A = this chain, B = another copy of it.
Amino acid sequence: MPNRIAGSLASLESHLVGVVVPSLSNIVFPEVLHGINSRLKSSNYQSVISISDYDLEHEEVLVRGLLSWKPAAILIAGFDHTPATSRMLDQCGVRVVEMMDIDSVPIDTAVGMSHRRAGYATGQHLIERGYRRFGYVGHNWTADRRAKLRYDGCCEALSNAGISFVAHAIAEGPSSVANGRAQTARLCDASAVDVVVYSNDDMAVGGVFHCLSTGISIPDQLAIFGFNGLDIGRELPRPLSTVRSNRFLIGEKAIDAILGRPDRPITPNIIDTGFEVFVGATA
């Protein structure tokens, strides 16, 4: 059995790809990792996965730790980093892919979708379907900039139609089915809306469960719209109306962008993996 530590030191190539994601509890990140792994399987590269727990200070420690292994690349979720993390990523010279989001200018390469445009598409789609009294149920944006971008995009679409959200219910913690259910209950108690736009599918499934429990008819009494296109949404009694993001594809494209390309592109490279409105039956 060879010793790759010695091999890497001698050849100055570690064949390691460092990956930093905020969580594995939100199923979108395991899906991205799955895409990464499927592309890496046939290569002689190996991913080293680190979890930041949505903590940018901890992310800094993780990035420093990964860089000390001289990886071929760092794949990191999002654009939100501490100044020190950004500086390290910028100056280390290794390839850097910022994943999920293409709404900012990347250090090297971004692979993902425009969450702003997805939010806009959501608003536009629901207006076309005749909804006018919009509610929003979300989770804490400080750890999830992309949810904020979608909200902003949706507001823009509503604004173009001369309307705006009439009610909000925002959970303090992260997105979850439990938070979606609780905040839907709060929103329904406080205001009358036709349709609720959720920060993501987990929250929206919570909304569906609230309606099933309390006998609110979907979509006649309340329409529900999510984001992500998770498997669970398709299996609900009525398929969840949502926007599909292509998480597996993001992982694949991130690897394609760096494999066999040791040098950064001259100008930042942006790879759009797109999204798609899934009409479903809840809105």
Contact = CB atoms under 8 A, between A and B. Distances in A.
A5 B14 contact: yes
Interface in A5-24: 5-6, 8-9, 14, 24
Contacts of A88: 1
B234 A178 contact: yes
Contacts of A95: none
A8 B177 CA distance: 44
Contacts of A70: 3, 5
Nearest to A61: B41
B34 A30 contact: no
Number of copies: 2
A51 B34 contact: yes
A48 B51 contact: no
Contacts of A213: 237
Interface string A15-39: 0000000001101001101100100
A49 interface: yes
Contact of A64 (B1, B5, B8, B31): B1
A263 interface: no
Given A24-B30, A68-B2, A209 B236 contact: yes
Nearest to A177: B235
A93 to B, nearest CB: 11
A213 to B, nearest CB: 4
Contact of A68 (B4, B48, B49, B232): B4
